[in-house]
Structure 1
Amino acid sequence: MRIGLVTEGGYPYAAGETGLWCDRLVRGLPRHEFELYALSRSAGQEARGLLPLPGHVIRVRTAAPWAPGDDGRTYSRRERRRFTAGFEDLVRGICADGPEAAASFAAGLYELAALAREQGGMYAALRSETAVRTVEAGCRAPGAGRSVATARVPDLLEFVDALERMLRPLSLDWYEDPGLGAVDVCHAAAGGLAALPGLLAKRFFGVPLLVTEYGVALRTHYLEHGGDDRPALRALLAAFHGRLAGEIYAAADLLTPGNAHARRWQERCGAPRERLRTVYPGMEADRFAAVGEDPDRGDPDTLVWIGRVEPAKDLIGLLHAFAEVRRAAPDTRLRIFATAAVPGYLADCRSLAAQLFPDEAADARTVGENPVSFEEIGGPETPAPADAYGAGRIVLLSSVIEGFPLTLAEAMFCGRATVSTDVGAVREVIGGTGLVVPPRNPRALADACLALLRDPERAQRLGAAGRARALELFTVEQNAAAFEDGYQLLLARGSARPDGEVPFERPAEARVPGHWTTPTWAPPVTPAPDPEAAA
């Protein structure tokens, strides 16, 4: 079958968030053809180029929604009236709180998409004074939410600017044949704007839509904009993303959240339970096989933390917990491996570590050494993540906010015991093969670490159980098999085409060049003359 894979800011770009699992999925299903449709996020990402692609990727289409897309088209009077009517429906769905808001949002979205598909010109229309006045009228209309009613002119201008950028996928040339309208299944690798092209392909061409969310796009938006000090603008943006998520969940033929945590978000936003199927991310177990099968389980006195150094990971609390561990077990070390870092937060963590743990030396002639080290993966001592996990016997996760904890799953592949905070999908991932403590509780985190340091046999049993669980649930093979089952389910179920076309009316053999019904060596068959016609 032919699968259209839609991504945003990820695969097939060399620098992308969803690059790994999408690349593993495509390479794990060589029997199927893939068409890639990628929305980039920056000029730097495009400059780094694309990953090497396998031969069964038959088409790659990219677009830069961050760049202005003015096609120079302006609307006639009739087209302006059509745009205004559709945009008013969209804005009404964003600003209103009533039960009809979702239907109004969907009607406006699809009307604007149809206009962009037929006439173009969406860039100029969405940046016009008419668009700003329409949003202002929607915010002041009866039934509008209390937060959006306080929007001022700067809020309106910034929202209209953001709305134009978010609706740029409506104007893409991806949908006509050959394009998303001709694939058998459209697979959106994320929700939000990444799923918008798939939503339009389903609306206008009846293509079955599968949406995967390993991190819920709506939740990500809330976390990124929660500190905005302009409540009206924040409410408008949140309402748009909420309505878009609701329409995607209502229209998708199959939703594949990456864990129960994401599934609960989707159900809360109106996703039908019968269309939900959890598919865990797939990881390459071979990368961690050497460490996981090594009988030497690492330094028994070393704790390991791996991840992005940022406030959500609560390294400040981790350092305070380690101070409690050091009081009971003075020989313990903490090695922090940063895959990326927020510079200011990393500096704060280094400063706190220097205050809590002054450099120590065995005697008067030995150079002092801090028991906490900040390191990077890729150096001579730790060339790969598996080497970082193998540096200690216990792996820690101290986050206060987390989706699917990839570092925990990798630690389980390495056969390491884990101590983690109870956030996101942590309990679902470890499944009883590690210790879980409340977040923002350094004392509980320290007690759990000490319990495993004092009982190495228990730590070894937990590590072995975690590795067995990871090999059962989180491999590339199970991930690819689950998605292939989803593709076949959607293809077998079919989808109602807007033009009345019957699914499977055009057989797959029709794509094969040549006369597939007649052998190439057979002479052409000449029909016999009709005697009645001759008479």
Structure 2
Amino acid sequence: MRIGLLTEGGHPYATGESIWCDRLVRGLAAHEFELYALSLSARQEGGRVDLPRHVRRVRTAPLWAPEDDGRTYGRRERRHFAGHFRELVTGMCAEGGETADLFAEGLYGLADLARERGGLHAALRSELAVRTLESACRAPGARRGAAAATVPDYLTFVDRLERALRPLSLDWYGEDGLAAVDLCHAASGGSAALPGLLAKRFFGTPLLVTEYGVQLRAHYLAAHEVPDSDPVRALLAAFHGRLAGEIYRQAALLTPGNTHARRWQERCGADRAKLRTVYPGMESERFTEVGEDEEGGDPATLVWVGRVEPAKDLIALLHAFAEIRKAQPEVRLRVIAAPVREPGAEAYLAHCRALAAQLFPDEAPGAHAVGENPVTFEEIGGPEAPTLAEAYAAGAVVVLSSVVEGFPITLVEAMFCARATVSTDVGAVVEVIGGTGLVVPPRNPRALADACLALLRDPERRYRLGAAARARALELFTVEQNLAAFRGIYLELLSHSPVRRPAAEGVPFARPAEAYVPGSWADRPVTAGAGDADA
């Protein structure tokens, strides 16, 4: 089977976060893979991971740089563009689910135009596009946020829209591209799935969409970080919402990474019959030694591991620790962070250090001197925590204090290490923990402190919870279970879609047996089976 793997800002770039894609490609060596990657920056394109031999082709395209083919439209093409663009923005700006079809017609009309004539880059940034957008925003029944837009808002939005629709103009849709694959697997929604939508439209290729972090949710969370006006945010939210709905409608199968992501997809119109939860696979071997160590770490130490950012709410954790110290003065807190890369992380870390110094004025927190200060701020790879496993091994209780989470990777790592955990009830935390740890409301330092104290005072309970957590993690969250799930899904989807390319000479089973059976078997919808993780 030949799989077209579609990514955005991830695999095969070394700085990408789609580690699961790399494990998927390497673990399913019986299939051929072709990678179609959208990059997010020039810096990202500076390095790629080494790929195995069964990756036949890698094609990349930047979303960060303009891709103007230099073509302009004549009168006839401008008329076609105006009609398709009007359908797109009208379906986007108008309230009501019935306009989703209009959005889709406009999207595919622009794709057809780009494939036949090119020139979409210039057209989307033209005065015609701005005027058409203005008319849609001011039409009766338009969304309230869109109706408040002004000319600067229109200009900003069409610039963002051109970037989001750049995959429509790529040269990936020929016989040497997506026309030759048997299945498109989008590693996320949004722009990454656009080539899969077009492959289905042009060639009938089935589309599988995996979302471990729902793109629409990520857009909403990131909106406050960009200095856009409210009308621009409203327009972008409308566009991404319509695009997500069309992707979910056209996908043969959707594999959310957890129930939290699944609920988001259902809210966007995804058919429950197409949904099948597949948990992300994580390497458990590097945590084996710690997980099998019955000592369980320092019984008077709390450990926090993760990226330093406001969503992790270290402020609430420090206030909770102040309450813990009043009850048990011997307890210590180790904040062990990944190397700082995100913009603003240094400032947030400095703020946390300052707060710790204020809360513990007689014991100014140090950077390394574990055992002398109640709070230490360290970095993974440092002298006290040279490896991730040793970071979790440092204490008896691991704390997650986030106010926003998707799939809590650090929590699963703590479970592999057989650590008792205290977590806030956000994202997929409850689903991941499954009763093997304590969960408290977010932004509640008092509740966080009480839960930590309950575990610090009860070593037998810590041991039971840690052992149960490790068993649950090994059952649900390993690379092996992830590979087994996708191996079966690939075969299932292909069994409902005949192979279009010629079978290789001398290769047994190069075409599925069903391809030789006359009738309309290939038109049957794919439904979730009894093994659905959420059933």
Normalised to the residue count of structure 2, the TM-score between the two structures is 0.91
Are 2:171 and 1:149 equivalent residues in the alignment? Answer: no
Q: How much has 1:98 moved relative to structure 2?
A: 3.0
Deviations 1:376-397 (A, max 9, x none): 1112332221110111111000
Aligned to 1:91: 89
Aligned to 2:173: 175
What does 1:441-520 correspond to in 2, within 5 Å?
441-494=444-497, 503-504=498-499, 508-510=503-505
Alpha-carbon distance change, 436 to 176 in structure 1, aligned in 2, over 3 angstroms: same
Aligned to 1:274: 273
Aligned to 1:406: 409
Aligned to 2:31: 32
- Alpha-carbon contact 1:360-1:368 (below 8 Å) kept: no
Q: How much has 1:504 moved relative to structure 2?
A: 3.8
Q: How much has 1:79 moved relative to structure 2?
A: 1.1
Distance 1:469 1:266 in 2: 26
Aligned-partner SS, 2:381: coil
Instruction: Provide structure 1 residue ranges, at least 5 long, that are not aligned to the other structure.
Output: 495-502, 514-535
Distance 2:42 2:239 in 1: 26
Aligned to 1:384: 387
Deviations 1:452-485 (A, max 9, x none): 1000111011001000000000000100110111
Output the amino acid matched with 1:473.
Answer: L
Identity of aligned residues (%): 73
Q: How much has 1:201 moved relative to structure 2?
A: 0.8
Deviations 1:209-265 (A, max 9, x none): 000000010011111114656221111000000000000000000000000000000
* Matching residue within 134, 137, 156 for 2:135: 137
Distance 2:438 2:281 in 1: 23
Aligned to 2:251: 252
Q: How much has 1:398 moved relative to structure 2?
A: 0.4
Distance 1:160 1:291 in 2: 52
Aligned to 1:233: 232
Q: How much has 1:78 moved relative to structure 2?
A: 1.1
Q: How much has 1:175 moved relative to structure 2?
A: 1.5
Aligned to 1:332: 331
Aligned-partner SS, 2:282: coil
Are 2:361 and 1:370 equivalent residues in the alignment? Answer: no
Aligned to 1:526: none
Aligned to 2:517: none
Output the amino acid matched with 1:459.
Answer: R
Are 2:436 and 1:433 equivalent residues in the alignment? Answer: yes
| 108-117 vs 370-379, greater mean Cα deviation | 370-379
Are 2:200 and 1:202 equivalent residues in the alignment? Answer: yes
Deviations 1:319-373 (A, max 9, x none): 0000011111111110111115412111110000011113549xxxx99942111
Aligned to 1:80: 78
Aligned-partner SS, 1:26: helix
- Alpha-carbon contact 1:70-1:123 (below 8 Å) kept: yes
- Alpha-carbon contact 1:98-1:143 (below 8 Å) kept: no
Aligned to 2:98: 100
Output the amino acid matched with 1:284.
Answer: E
Alpha-carbon distance change, 189 to 504 in structure 1, aligned in 2, over 3 angstroms: closer
Q: How much has 1:290 moved relative to structure 2?
A: 1.1
Q: How much has 1:177 moved relative to structure 2?
A: 1.4
Aligned-partner SS, 1:91: helix
Aligned to 1:358: 361
- Alpha-carbon contact 2:339-2:380 (below 8 Å) kept: no
| 304-313 vs 366-375, greater mean Cα deviation | 366-375
Distance 1:367 1:303 in 2: 12
Instruction: Provide structure 2 residue ranges, at least 5 long, that are not aligned to the other structure.
Output: 509-535
Distance 1:391 1:116 in 2: 57
- Alpha-carbon contact 1:359-1:369 (below 8 Å) kept: no
Aligned to 2:511: none
Deviations 1:184-229 (A, max 9, x none): 1100000111111111111111111000000010011111114656
Distance 1:113 1:208 in 2: 18
Aligned to 1:420: 423
Distance 1:96 1:510 in 2: 53
How large is the RMSD of aligned CA atoms in angstroms?
A: 1.7
Aligned-partner SS, 2:3: strand
Deviations 1:149-203 (A, max 9, x none): 1101110100011111111000111121121121111000001111111111111
Distance 1:318 1:70 in 2: 49
Aligned-partner SS, 1:100: helix
Deviations 1:252-285 (A, max 9, x none): 0000000000000000100000000000000011
Aligned-partner SS, 2:423: strand
- Alpha-carbon contact 1:95-1:139 (below 8 Å) kept: yes
Aligned-partner SS, 2:463: helix
Q: How much has 1:508 moved relative to structure 2?
A: 3.0
Q: How much has 1:99 moved relative to structure 2?
A: 3.4
Distance 1:53 1:99 in 2: 43
Aligned to 2:49: 51
- Alpha-carbon contact 1:260-1:278 (below 8 Å) kept: yes
Aligned to 1:521: none
Distance 2:139 2:180 in 1: 42
Distance 2:233 2:506 in 1: 49
Distance 1:493 1:367 in 2: 59
Alpha-carbon distance change, 506 to 317 in structure 1, aligned in 2, over 3 angstroms: closer
Alpha-carbon distance change, 386 to 475 in structure 1, aligned in 2, over 3 angstroms: same
Q: How much has 1:70 moved relative to structure 2?
A: 0.7
Aligned-partner SS, 1:508: coil
Output the amino acid matched with 1:477.
Answer: E
Aligned to 1:303: 302
- Alpha-carbon contact 2:182-2:500 (below 8 Å) kept: no
- Alpha-carbon contact 2:68-2:122 (below 8 Å) kept: yes
Output the amino acid matched with 1:287.
Answer: R
Distance 2:58 2:90 in 1: 36
Aligned-partner SS, 1:34: strand
Aligned to 2:518: none
Aligned to 2:262: 263
Aligned-partner SS, 2:269: coil
* Matching residue within 393, 397, 417 for 1:394: 397
- Alpha-carbon contact 1:359-1:370 (below 8 Å) kept: no
Distance 2:93 2:461 in 1: 56
- Alpha-carbon contact 1:307-1:340 (below 8 Å) kept: no
Distance 2:28 2:199 in 1: 23
Aligned to 1:287: 286
Output the amino acid matched with 1:68.
Answer: P
Distance 1:509 1:367 in 2: 63
Distance 1:210 1:336 in 2: 39
Q: How much has 1:512 moved relative to structure 2?
A: 6.3
Alpha-carbon distance change, 229 to 117 in structure 1, aligned in 2, over 3 angstroms: closer
- Alpha-carbon contact 1:11-1:17 (below 8 Å) kept: yes
